[in-house]
């Protein structure tokens, strides 16, 4: 009997050990199942869009735009910032073509495309309505019927990619240097667009390089796009960049402005201390279609009521919409819109307001209601408080 009891005791202990092991396994499987179920139910994080004064605002950081962080997920925001900083660091290296294309893959985000398309339909519909009110037609009038100077301005600002069949009308101070560099990458003149040695005006094709028949063919068949920017923000950005930072521009234009518009100008001036008031007086004494391209209204540069654009992007949502365009022309396997360089100094709303307040009421009204009135209306930007 004692032997039987001893055997039963040993058997019970073995069974208890097996039960403990299977209990642990069952508990582990239950935990895994619960985690998978929670992930499946939770919706994926997406950038939120909202329309604001003719602009799209997102949780994505934009190149030089007045930014409102819509995302409530701090962890996601920090991860995105680290990703952008890593990309910027990588861009500044001298990458091989294969290394750069690995970075390009990171731009293949399509979750925002629906929102961008929706905004674009509204933007083009608004443009068509404004053009119809201005010309009696909704756009697409012949470019050839433009006055000679306006026709020349247009043709000299439309860049051509015959390989990817698109036309891009560039506007200075609306990230045009980056787009010129992108064209060089697509034409295999450069490895990546943030190559600091690139001359972005060299080895690019302009619509003015073609015959009238070739121009018509491209305007009728190629994908056409341009980008707009809030007019006063663009004007201040151009002034600060050209008159405060570019020596050649100061010598060529700054000296003239100081001598013409300053009381008792010095006999020897470098043109590097032009005030915003002097600059605006200089502009208002000219016809807008004769302005330097950095200050000329987009109306005269890209003729949005004459050219039927397929896409008009917003500088305020530059990176997302630029990569959208790159996907539309089937070039996302080759290039991504570059991250802003570390030396880039954005012009924010406060800076624009400070400059604007230095002007007289008459100057403000002429800028808003005469010179840049069409740009405000065509691209649906609200007039700033005078």
Most confident of 46-50, 93-97, 337-341, 356-360: 356-360
Residue-wise pLDDT tens digits, 116-129: 999 999 999 999 99
Q: Which residue has the higher pLDDT, 50 or 153?
A: 153
53: left (phi over 0), alpha (psi -120 to 50) or beta: left
User: How large is the C-alpha radius of gyration of the chain?
Assistant: 29
Start-end of H helices in the chain: 2-41, 74-91, 97-104, 113-135, 148-155, 176-186, 212-221, 231-245, 247-249, 255-261, 276-284, 298-302, 318-328, 349-356, 361-366, 373-378
Confidence of residue 319 (pLDDT cuts 50, 70, 90): very high
Higher pLDDT, 54 or 368: 368
Mean per-residue pLDDT for 325-351? 87
Phi, then psi, of 199 in degrees rounded to 5: -95, 105
What confidence tier does 242 reach under pLDDT thresholds 50, 70, 90? very high
CB–CB of 382/54 below 8 Å? yes
**Stated pTM of the model:** 0.72
């Amino acid at each position: 009997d004692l032997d039987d009891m001893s055997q039963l005791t040993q058997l019970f202990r073995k069974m208890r050990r097996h039960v403990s092991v299977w209990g642990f396994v069952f508990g582990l499987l239950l935990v895994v199942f619960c985690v998978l179920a929670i992930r499946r139910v939770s919706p994926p994080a997406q950038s939120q869009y909202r329309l604001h004064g003719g602009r799209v605002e997102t949780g994505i950081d934009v190149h030089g735009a007045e930014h409102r962080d819509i995302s409530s997920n701090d962890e996601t925001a920090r991860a995105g910032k680290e990703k952008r900083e890593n990309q910027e660091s990588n861009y500044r290296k001298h990458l091989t073509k294969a290394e750069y294309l690995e970075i390009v893959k990171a731009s293949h985000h399509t979750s925002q495309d629906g929102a961008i398309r929706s905004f674009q339909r509204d933007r083009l519909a608004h443009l068509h309505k404004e053009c119809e009110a201005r010309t009696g037609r909704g756009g697409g009038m012949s470019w050839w019927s433009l006055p000679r100077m306006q026709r020349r301005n247009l043709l000299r600002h439309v860049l051509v990619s015959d390989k990817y069949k698109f036309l891009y009308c560039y506007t200075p101070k609306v990230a045009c240097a980056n787009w010129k560099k992108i064209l060089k990458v697509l034409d295999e003149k450069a490895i990546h667009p943030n190559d600091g040695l690139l001359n972005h005006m060299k080895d690019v094709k302009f619509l003015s390089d073609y015959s009238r028949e070739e121009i018509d063919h491209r305007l009728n068949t190629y994908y056409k796009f341009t980008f707009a920017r809030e007019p006063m923000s663009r004007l201040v950005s151009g002034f600060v960049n050209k008159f405060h930072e570019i020596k050649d521009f100061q010598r060529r234009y700054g000296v003239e402005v100081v001598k013409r518009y300053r009381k008792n100008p010095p006999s020897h001036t470098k043109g590097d201390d032009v005030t915003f008031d002097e600059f605006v007086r200089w502009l208002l004494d000219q016809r807008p279609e004769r302005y330097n391209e950095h200050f000329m209204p987009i109306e005269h540069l890209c003729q949005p009521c004459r050219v039927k654009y397929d896409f008009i992007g917003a500088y305020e949502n530059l990176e997302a919409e630029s990569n959208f365009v790159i996907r539309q022309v089937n070039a996302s396997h080759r290039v991504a819109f570059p991250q802003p360089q570390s030396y880039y100094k954005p012009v924010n709303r406060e800076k624009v307001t400070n400059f604007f307040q230095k002007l007289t009421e008459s100057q403000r009204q002429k800028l808003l209601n005469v010179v840049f009135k069409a740009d405000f209306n065509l691209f649906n930007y609200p007039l700033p408080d005078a």
